[in-house]
Amino acid sequence: MPKKKDTIYSSGNNTEKSILSALKDITHSDAEAYFIIWKYAPELLPNSDTIKSYEDLKNTYKNFENRTEQSFEKALFKEDVQAGVKYLLKRLDGKRDVDLLNKYYSLAMNGDVQALKAYMDFKKNFFADNETSELKAILKGVNVTNDDEIDDFEMKL
C-alpha cells in the first residue's frame, strides 16, 4: 500500500506537523502511532472507513507484522507511548472545545439565554491565555516588594 504523505500545516511563523507525524516522532514507532490513533481516534486514520478491527489495522499497515493487539496494549505502559496518547487526547479535547463553543453560539443566536451565558463564560475561559499574555509580559519584570513598607509594619505581642 502506498504511504500517505504527512501534511504539514503552516500558520504564520509557526509550522505544525500532522497528528500522525507528531505521534511517530513522540513514540519513535510507526506501528505504535497508528495503534494509538486507531484506539483513541479511529476517524483520523487514513482509510478509516475500512478499518474496523485490530485485524483490519494489521492487514492495512505492514508495520504490524509479528505484533498482537495484546503487545500494543502492554506498550501503553511505556512512557513515550503514554506521552503520545496524552498528546492525541489534548488535541482531541481542543477540537471538542471549539465544537462546544460553536454549539453554544448557535443556540445563543436562536435566543437561548442560558446558552448565551454559557457561551460568554466558556469564551472567557477558552481565550484567557491569549488575552492575559500581554499583561503577563508587561508585569513579568516588575518588582512588587518595597522595603519601606516592610519596615513600617511591625507586629507586637
CA distance 81 to 111: 45
- Residues constituting the chain: 157
Between the alpha carbon of residue 33 and those of residues 20, 24, 51, 54, 83, the distances in Å are 7, 5, 15, 14, 11
For 101-111, what is each residue's pLDDT tens digit? 999 999 999 99
Share of the chain above pLDDT 70, in %: 72
Position 137 confidence tier, pLDDT thresholds 50, 70, 90: low
pLDDT tier at 125 (50, 70, 90 boundaries)?
Answer: confident
Q: What does the pLDDT look like over 73-99, one tens digit per residue?
A: 999 999 999 999 999 999 999 899 899
Domain ranges of the chain: 8-141
* Structural contact between residues 33 and 23, judged by C-beta atoms closer than 8 angstroms: yes
- pLDDT higher than 70, residue 49: yes
